[in-house]
Structure 1
Amino acid sequence: MPSTQRRSFLGMVATGTVASIAGCSSSCPDDGRPEPSYTVESGTDNAGFETVPDGSWPTPRFDAANTAYTPVRMETTTPSVKWRADISTTISGVENIGASAVVVADSIVVLTTSASVVALSLRDGTEQWRRELKPATVQSPAGIGDRPAPPVMANGRVFLATTDGVVALEADDGAVAWRNTEVVGAGVPAVTDDALFVPTADGVARFDTTDGHRQWTVYVDGTRLAVADSTAVIAGEEVVAVDAETGEIQWRQSDRPDGYPVVADGTVYVCTYGDLVGRSLTDGTEQWRIDRGRSFELPVVTPESVYAIERPGEASSATFAFDQVDEGAPEPRWCSEINLGGAVTAASEDAVFTFQHDIGLTAFTTRFGDAVWQYPAEYQAVSLAVLDGGVVSVSPEGSVVAFGGE
């Protein structure tokens, strides 16, 4: 569907002109597959990047706030595969649950399997080091089942929640910097410059990133974190906000969130079973609510936009782009209908990335939702790391692919 038609329809939705849609399909009128301007060929000679991309993607959702947004621009609309590395996720005697999301910093790409942490060269995908550790098992934000807990990176170290505690590794060689066995990891950590927050079997604990000293534990039910503006937001049976310095509970709301919280500009974005809710980070009061009678997946949040998959149940879903507004709920800008499955995984200044189970990885323009390029249907992405000059992706089976300029 042309961009102008999308904008016209969505304007009617925003003003209430379109009151309902028959049946339980997505409310997006764009009922065809996105037709990309360019299709990336899957073949590669693994030559690698001539110039290593700048920037980093140090946590699975870029930052501790889970925004999945980085302020860089794609250098090309016709990328190619620069390298591909297939990481073995099968180890004798260990249940294989595939690969984790990737993180990138210090020119290395790091991910986990069911029994190890693996570091690859960002330049050409060659393995740099591997350490045998058993990560905690976590629910994938992309909705594709349980996965090994991904690492997070900060200050030259790799941090990981494991079944035996919390571990910090040196990023350059994988050597153990410290290990804390006081608690059992139970979720994806969030890391800031001076603190590591880890969901545990009992609640959420804060650790000193330098030596692994446990500074506090708050006993709440929740394993999904976002940390921003000196506040840690914990999602479980309810949403709880605690002071990131002391662990003191600030507020709680009974939203029953379906996924991870996202924090941006003083707002906590919470997907519930049917709504997308914006709450004040300060006191938890509701600021706005998008209620279409359909569920939304974990959103990607940028200074100007919110991107999310609208999922109406067993029928077709859609990628929605919303404009941020000064007051009130974000307003629809464009949409692109997809078949069952998929997620919005990341955004840069000029591109938003989705993967769809029967289509593949697609890059849309942020403003109008035009499909710029696509990587083929047989490839599914657990996550993306978007850099200045490249994109690194991983499939559930451990196929890591790096894309770059012409």
Structure 2
Amino acid sequence: MVATGSVAGIAGCSSSCPDDGEPDPSHTVESDIDSTGFETVPDGSWPLPRFDATNTGYAPVGLKTTTPSVRWHADISTTSGDGETTGASAVVVADGTVMLTTATGVVALSLRDGTEQWRHNLTPATVPSVVDIGDEPAPPVIANSRVFLATANGIAAFEVADGAVAWRNTDTAGAGVPAVTDDALVVPTTDGIARLSTDDGRRQWTATADGTRLAVADSTVVIAGERITAVDAETGEVQWEHSDRSEGYPVVSDGTVYVSSTYGDLIGRSLTDGTEQWRLDDRRSLEFPVVTPDSVYAIERPGESSSATFAFDRVENGPPEPRWCSEINIGGAVTAAADDAVFTFQRDDGLTAFTTRLGEAVWQYPTEYQAISVAVLDGGIVSVSPDGTVVALGGE
């Protein structure tokens, strides 16, 4: 169910999307089919929870099918040592390996068939969930065939291939989701934001800033927390800050920082000096922005009423303009986009793929639990649910 054209905000707590029904996908993925894995392993990678250090949530790839099937699934225990169920982290994928954390460690799975490759017992840092399910383990990040983790006992690096320890830095505990570039790891810790060498874990600087999620772009680190703070990536010196409180990921694209504030505004700020460029402030509670070269996707969550997936056209020097929307059940999150599809989790209906241009519901994968994240590859998708169910979808 799709509505196109301009969409105006309305008062009250109901969605401003004029669409009045749930999406009706052309294909439903059957979840009870056994499969031995991918015949052809998908190309590409998804090395950070939101694809790259800028957190756009966009991979420039295609899925190669409008009728995917389950290629494999794996059940990872999310029970802590004291018997509590604490959930799983977002998944990351690189070098033919799928990785995630739980309360008790980090697990590596084969991208081909989901078999476990290795695991390490450790206690990851925890971060507030972006899908309102309490705290969750901080996910790993991958670069240069190494996986990096923020843990309660410091920062650790392992070789993706076999799990061998590359280095450990036990100066201070991790306190959020790392971001990694070719030569540096930037990570929230209990005494500030730290930049470490990816080669040996040596600390290069510590910035006085507070937040659990960050982005790195154009020699600037943007930290989301009680405030939005930007620091110089080379020195750690504060460049600017504003009181846009956000618990989600800051997103950076083409010199603009996209911030989804806890007050419901979607704000665009200059990466250079933090000045406000535009604001969507009609209190529609736009969350989870995913940014592509020409579009912005976000979930509108107006209180206890039905939510909606919104697609906006990016506008030079102005706020994004609505292109289409599709009403969904209460809850949900836009989590990723590819060249030909955008993906929304719905609390009752699972994972839905929409076409990017017109918002047609192409396929849906029903799940018992709302998934935490997806990793989008060239010819496949890997998703994880809070109960530790990891599923790979694909096909020709």
| Same fold (TM > 0.5) | yes
Whether 2:219 is the aligned partner of 1:235: answer no
Cα distance in 2 between the residues matched to 1:216 and 1:352: 38
Paired residues, number: 395
- Contact kept in structure 1, 2:176 and 2:211, CA below 8 Å: no
- Contact kept in structure 2, 1:95 and 1:114, CA below 8 Å: no
Cα distance in 2 between the residues matched to 1:26 and 1:203: 38
5 Å matches for 1:65-104?
65-93=54-82, 95-104=84-93
Aligned-pair CA distance for 1:319 = 0.6
Of 162-171 and 233-242, the range deviating more from structure 2:
233-242
Cα distance in 1 between the residues matched to 2:283 and 2:389: 36
Letter in 2 for 1:268: V
Whether 2:181 is the aligned partner of 1:192: answer yes
Cα distance in 1 between the residues matched to 2:27 and 2:288: 27
5 Å matches for 1:231-270?
231-270=220-259
Aligned twin of 1:131: 120
> How high is the TM-score relative to the length of structure 2?
0.97
Letter in 2 for 1:237: E
Q: Percent identity?
A: 74
- Contact kept in structure 2, 1:294 and 1:313, CA below 8 Å: no
Cα distance in 1 between the residues matched to 2:370 and 2:226: 30
Letter in 1 for 2:392: A
Aligned twin of 1:331: 321
Cα distance in 1 between the residues matched to 2:369 and 2:131: 14
- Contact kept in structure 1, 2:128 and 2:247, CA below 8 Å: no
What SS is found at the alignment partner of 2:315? coil
What SS is found at the alignment partner of 1:198? strand
- Contact kept in structure 2, 1:109 and 1:122, CA below 8 Å: yes
- Contact kept in structure 2, 1:117 and 1:130, CA below 8 Å: yes
Aligned twin of 1:21: 10
5 Å matches for 1:42-53?
42-53=31-42
Aligned-pair CA distance for 1:23 = 3.3
Whether 2:276 is the aligned partner of 1:276: answer no
Which of 195, 205, 213 in structure 2 is aligned with 1:206?
A: 195
Show CA shifts across 1:333-356 (max 9, x none): 000111211100100001000101
Show CA shifts across 1:205-231 (max 9, x none): 000000000000001122220111110
Which of 359, 365, 371 in structure 1 is aligned with 2:349?
A: 359
What SS is found at the alignment partner of 1:279? strand
Structure 2: unaligned runs, 5 residues or longer: none
Letter in 2 for 1:399: T
- Contact kept in structure 1, 2:80 and 2:86, CA below 8 Å: no
Cα distance in 2 between the residues matched to 1:370 and 1:48: 28
- Contact kept in structure 2, 1:94 and 1:114, CA below 8 Å: no
Cα distance in 1 between the residues matched to 2:25 and 2:229: 41
Aligned twin of 1:405: 395
Cα distance in 1 between the residues matched to 2:80 and 2:269: 44
Whether 2:300 is the aligned partner of 1:310: answer yes
Cα distance in 2 between the residues matched to 1:117 and 1:257: 27
- Contact kept in structure 1, 2:184 and 2:195, CA below 8 Å: yes
Cα distance in 2 between the residues matched to 1:93 and 1:405: 40
Aligned twin of 2:309: 319
Cα distance in 1 between the residues matched to 2:169 and 2:367: 42
Which of 321, 327, 342 in structure 1 is aligned with 2:332?
A: 342
CA gap of 1:270–1:77, structure 2 versus 1, over 3 A, is same
Show CA shifts across 1:340-395 (max 9, x none): 11100100001000101111100000001100000114242110000001000011
Which of 114, 130, 133 in structure 2 is aligned with 1:141?
A: 130
Aligned twin of 2:277: 287
Cα distance in 2 between the residues matched to 1:337 and 1:127: 38
What SS is found at the alignment partner of 1:205? strand
- Contact kept in structure 2, 1:382 and 1:393, CA below 8 Å: yes
Of 183-192 and 21-30, the range deviating more from structure 2:
21-30
Aligned-pair CA distance for 1:28 = 0.2
Letter in 1 for 2:104: A
Whether 2:381 is the aligned partner of 1:394: answer no
5 Å matches for 1:377-388?
377-388=367-378
> Which segments of structure 1 move beyond 4 Å, counting only runs of 4 or more?
none
Aligned-pair CA distance for 1:195 = 0.4
Cα distance in 1 between the residues matched to 2:133 and 2:353: 20
Q: RMSD over aligned Cα, in angstroms?
A: 1.2
- Contact kept in structure 2, 1:239 and 1:254, CA below 8 Å: yes
What SS is found at the alignment partner of 1:81? strand
Cα distance in 2 between the residues matched to 1:315 and 1:379: 20
Letter in 2 for 1:140: S
Show CA shifts across 1:12-45 (max 9, x none): x3xxxx5x53532010011211100000000232
Structure 1: unaligned runs, 5 residues or longer: none
- Contact kept in structure 2, 1:204 and 1:223, CA below 8 Å: no
- Contact kept in structure 2, 1:94 and 1:115, CA below 8 Å: no
